[in-house]
């Protein structure tokens, strides 16, 4: 029985607010107090904090810090909100409907090679040999989104495992929201996304259904977001014929907003053969042993399919899982799609690559499939 409440500060359009989460006992309050202290000292949730990488390290940034959205400049949030709500076109030609533009890659040449032949060869090596085929069906997947040098092996293992269930008719990519622009769930306005391997078409039918169900378009949320882009070269190598994708930027929003977003996604899906991919790294910049322990505590809840338990655990422990909102929505969608069988495909930390275990980032690949598949 909950005997107390915890206060969590969160950021939405640059405005702080307090959310009340049922909690039990004084020990929880002490834990939350320590969590809040850590968040404030690291800059979270205002600024880059533990969710955005430094200029060097396991998740390299390609843009200078002062060229990223400033969380303390709330007017930028208001501007983005007004543009989204009123459908104003911006300088890149976005508007209230699906555009004809192509989003250019923003991390080619840093997170992954910018040269076509090198990129293809690298991805083919990371994917390895195909897995034995099973009956075609939908699957869910968690994969990391750091530079391929660090997390590519884990991402490749997860995507390779998913291919056993056949080619999907569409891929929903639930990305992290490192900029925290827009609503809890937002979709882009592009017609396609480009990588050095070519253009990937967006599934405009599913996106239009999502918009009709109340999901907002927010081009600003995708402009510099890398978490969905890094998945695309893997899909392009796996499936020579372009597979339509639906990028969805997901914040670690209030539970009710994520639950409603998952419901809308489930209603919008028009196929029994879709991949739902949550793009997320796990613990950021903790000593290796501590990172593994924190990640194990989160993965236990993920593998149990406990969406609400994972969400609450992330909030209460102040976990630095940058795609926690995307993972929560995936876990909720897995119920809708009947994906009741989960397995940990691979796990590693950046320390396994660099040898530096003093401050690592965790990477996990988790597969969700139907019980009888």
Task: Identify the pLDDT of residue 61.
Answer: 38
Question: Residue 20 falls within a domain, yes or no?
Answer: no
Residue 367 clears pLDDT 60, i.e. is over it: yes
**Does position 311 have pLDDT exceeding 60, yes or no?**
yes
Task: With beta carbons less than 8 A apart as the criterion, state whether 341 and 161 touch.
Answer: no
Domain for residue 227, yes or no?
yes
Percent of the chain scoring above 70 in pLDDT: 73
> What letters, b where the CB count within 10 A reaches 16 and e where it falls short, cover 88-127?
eeeeeebeeebbeeebebbbbeebbbeeeeebbebbeebb
Task: Please tell me the total count of domains within the chain.
Answer: 1
Query: Are residues 340 and 371 in contact, defined by beta-carbon separation less than 8 angstroms?
Result: yes
Report, as an integer, the average pLDDT of 110-127.
97
Question: Cα–Cα distance between 365 and 303 in angstroms, integer?
Answer: 11
Q: How far is C-alpha 217 from the chain's CA centre?
A: 17
Quote the mean pLDDT of the chain: 79
- The average pLDDT across 286-290 equals 98
Domain-located, residue 250: yes
Q: Which of 174-183, 199-208, 269-278 has the highest mean pLDDT?
A: 199-208
What is the average per-residue pLDDT within 281-305?
A: 98
CATH assignment at residue 325: 3.40.830.10
Give me the residue label for tokens 């976990």: 319
250: pLDDT strictly greater than 70:
yes
pLDDT given at position 84: 40
Confidence band for 132, pLDDT divided at 50, 70 and 90: confident
Instruction: Flag whether pLDDT at 245 surpasses 90.
Output: yes
The predicted-structure confidence for 42-59, as pLDDT tens digits, reads as follows 333 322 333 334 433 455
Half-sphere exposure of residue 117: CA atoms within 13 angstroms, side-chain side = 0
Is 172 among the domain residues? yes
The four Cα atoms 207, 208, 212, 218 give a dihedral, to 10 degrees, of: 60
Taking only the tens place, the pLDDT of each residue in 219-238 is 889 989 999 999 999 999 99
Does 40 map to a domain?
A: no
> Per-residue pLDDT averaged across 240-253, rounded?
95
Q: What is the DSSP string of 316-346?
A: HHT---TTHHHHHHHHHHHHHHT--EEEEEE
Residue 372 — pLDDT band, cuts 50, 70, 90?
A: confident
Q: Side-chain half-sphere of 78: how many Cα atoms within 13 Å?
A: 5
Q: Mean pLDDT throughout 2-9?
A: 32
Q: Is residue 329 part of a domain?
A: yes
What percent of the chain has a predicted confidence (pLDDT) above 90? 65
The pLDDT, as a whole number, for residue 136 is 85
**Residue 371 has what pLDDT?**
86
What pLDDT sits at residue 310? 98
* pLDDT exceeds cutoff 90 at 134: no
Each residue's pLDDT tens digit, 32-44: 334 333 332 333 3
Q: Is residue 192 part of a domain?
A: yes
| H helix runs in 178-246, sequence order | 204-212, 219-223, 232-238
pLDDT at 23: 37
pLDDT on residue 167: 93
The range of the structural domain enclosing residue 102 comes to 47-369
CA distance 148 to 155: 8
Whether residue 176 is predicted with pLDDT greater than 50 in this model: the reply is: yes
Answer yes or no: is 83 within a domain: yes
Contact 151, 57 (CB under 8 A): no
Name the more confident of 149 and 181.
149
Whole-number pLDDT of residue 14: 32
Task: State how far the Cα of 275 lies from the Cα of 250, in Å rounded to an integer.
Answer: 17
């Amino acid at each position: 029985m909950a005997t107390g409440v915890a206060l969590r500060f969160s950021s939405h359009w640059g405005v702080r607010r307090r959310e009340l989460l049922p909690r039990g006992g004084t020990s929880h309050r002490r834990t939350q107090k320590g969590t809040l202290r850590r968040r404030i000292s690291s800059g979270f949730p205002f600024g880059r904090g533990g969710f955005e990488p430094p200029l060097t390290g396991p998740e390299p940034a390609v843009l200078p810090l002062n060229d990223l959205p400033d969380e303390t400049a709330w007017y930028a949030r208001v501007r983005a909100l007004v543009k989204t709500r009123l459908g104003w076109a911006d300088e890149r030609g976005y508007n209230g409907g699906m555009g004809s533009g192509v989003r250019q890659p923003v991390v080619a040449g840093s997170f992954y090679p910018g040269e076509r032949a090198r990129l293809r060869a690298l991805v083919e090596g990371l994917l390895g040999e195909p897995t034995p085929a099973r009956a075609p069906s939908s699957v869910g997947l968690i994969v990391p989104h750091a530079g391929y040098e660090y997390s590519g092996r884990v991402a490749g293992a997860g995507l390779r495992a998913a291919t056993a269930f056949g080619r999907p008719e569409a891929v929903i990519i639930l990305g992290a929201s490192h900029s925290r622009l827009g609503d809890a769930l937002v979709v882009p306005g592009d017609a396609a996304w480009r990588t050095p391997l070519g253009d990937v078409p967006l599934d405009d039918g599913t996106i239009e259904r999502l918009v009709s169900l109340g999901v907002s378009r927010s081009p600003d949320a995708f402009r510099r977001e890398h978490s969905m882009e890094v998945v695309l070269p893997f899909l392009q190598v796996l499936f020579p014929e372009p597979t339509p994708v639906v990028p969805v930027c997901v914040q670690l929003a209030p539970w009710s907003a994520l639950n409603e977003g998952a419901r809308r996604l489930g209603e919008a899906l028009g196929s029994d053969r879709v991949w739902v991919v949550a793009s997320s790294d796990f613990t950021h910049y903790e000593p290796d042993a501590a990172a593994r322990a924190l990640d194990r505590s989160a993965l236990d809840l993920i593998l149990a399919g406990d969406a609400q338990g994972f969400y609450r655990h992330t909030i209460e422990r102040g976990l630095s899982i940058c795609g926690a909102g995307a993972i929560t929505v995936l876990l909720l969608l897995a119920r809708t799609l009947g994906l009741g069988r989960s397995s940990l495909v691979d796990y590693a930390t950046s320390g396994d690559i660099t040898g530096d275990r003093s401050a690592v980032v965790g990477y996990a690949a988790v597969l969700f499939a139907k019980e009888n598949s």
